[in-house]
Structure 1
């Protein structure tokens, strides 16, 4: 949609307050790959004016009617899922230099306060290449993040396919946990634990694993019932290029759960698996955005995106959002469960976020302005009082928005063709 030359509504296009889980929506806006690090915060009027002058990466907090109530903007690439913390700070992976490793670049996990001031960062060594996926602040105050490194020769020699072994710059995704002072306390490397011959045959790129999301598992009923695989703190990982998601047991670093899927052929280029928190409908299940891009198996659903809810114990699909071939998002994308049982979905390449009921009814929809050449990579819904800064604001008015009938969008008079 972002490349279309046509006319369509932007902003909040659908809103049914009675059926929505209303609150503020945090938008992760992304544009290309920049080479310098700079972040700044503006008041709403200044932020809107700034956006008209140039398209930037950053985050915006909007109400249900699409009004910006707060914004952070930066000239760097914010890699995947910056998270708004309960204190109003933002935790993210920020790109610093794209020249060293192609599109992955070199970057650091960083934390900014509500006003956009840098208050914490972890300096990733220069021999490592880029950061990606979600950065998590753990209950003990430590930070969990993904980084990339060149696969060592000792691992490359274990690859059976000789042509693939020759690929220059083979990268390996890794996961690190650091203390607030940057001390490394836990480290996990893909090439030490994954099958080096398990790779995407139709995309033998250097980005072998492509971790695009991690989550430290929350408290859940499966562990309470004795299933140790789902111990809180174990790490849920999405390997996009591998076509499966898996769980790492933190204490042993072993993989204790893995899901390829079999719905319409299985996962294909998936993003953003998250275990649903206690107290939410479907608690303990895992939601995942299944892109349907670059099928890894011949029977996969190429060109058709899905939002799947999986029971991790039985590995069965218990709910799916499937709008057939009218819903396709090749890269990016996100889905999360809301407190009323609805699901919030980001269709990144359409610059579209929407909320659906369990029956698949769209009860809220927001379309970002495509003229900004910005991708709406992720969305998160938070309560009106989620952090002190939001709680101090007056609760916004919730105005219903009903989309017009298609016939009302016709031009009043036919265009006259000129020879």
Structure 2
């Protein structure tokens, strides 16, 4: 099976590896301010793309404004999720790949115990049972209730209540019991972290199988190993509430194998821009080939975005010609390039000038000034998006 997969995806893997290497080498050779700006913009593009893949709407301007705590309107659930992904990618980009992919670190990140905990029936679910993770769990009989055909506890009927609300009261009582069984209410920390989790999910077993796939990919080409790791993550879903983390981990695999030393590759962006859509009903070779094409598309977009960023910088630097030696306009241009969003207060703090001086420099940029993002007359922000 492994030989057939390598032969079927060899061409796509080679194309993706060449595209990734070119993009990474170019970022390593350009000026640091351009490389920093491209990496920061890549994080924002990736977060927006992952929300789009899940069917949500996340305008890039709103995401950058929310990240700078300058929301024009109340942030939506999609904006909040994208901001969390943005912070996650920034943290991963600052850490070493070996530290990120360490099994103990992954378990800590996902909140998984090292040894799989037994379910409510006392049985320990292993990695071999992941193929059917939604097996029915037989609930133990309680002293004050019985288990019906649906596996839900039936409360004793209250003869003193209103018959019209008897079914609703019984449903609320059963729901309360189920939530109490899934949450730890015995400590303050448990009450502060209430959540709805499936006790039969077996995140530890799923993660163990994903780590096995990751280990098997060490003998494969880097791009193919990353695509297999991402495909396994999407198939197994080791994280019950962090499905997008698999894209960042696949990019980390590329960094570890030398195809992303200058940046954290954007995998979801290529998948969002391409025509391929991952589905578990497709064949393994088709899924992996589609993910490899997404890597190629993401690398091409990264180079095109770097060209756009360089062009914007060149246009703004033309306004800096024939300026005095102590002019801060060149530094303001560098700030626009390195940061997705710039405000008057941020520029004044970074350049150590007054806000009035920043306003004057913004007027000097004229038509090359980046687009204003807020649409307001006060507390404005500009960015190259």
The TM-score with structure 2 as length reference comes to: 0.23
Q: TM-score, normalised by structure 1?
A: 0.22
Higher helix share: 2
Q: Which has the higher contact order (CA 8 A, sep 6+)?
A: 2
Question: Which of these two proteins has the greater Rg computed from alpha carbons?
Answer: 2
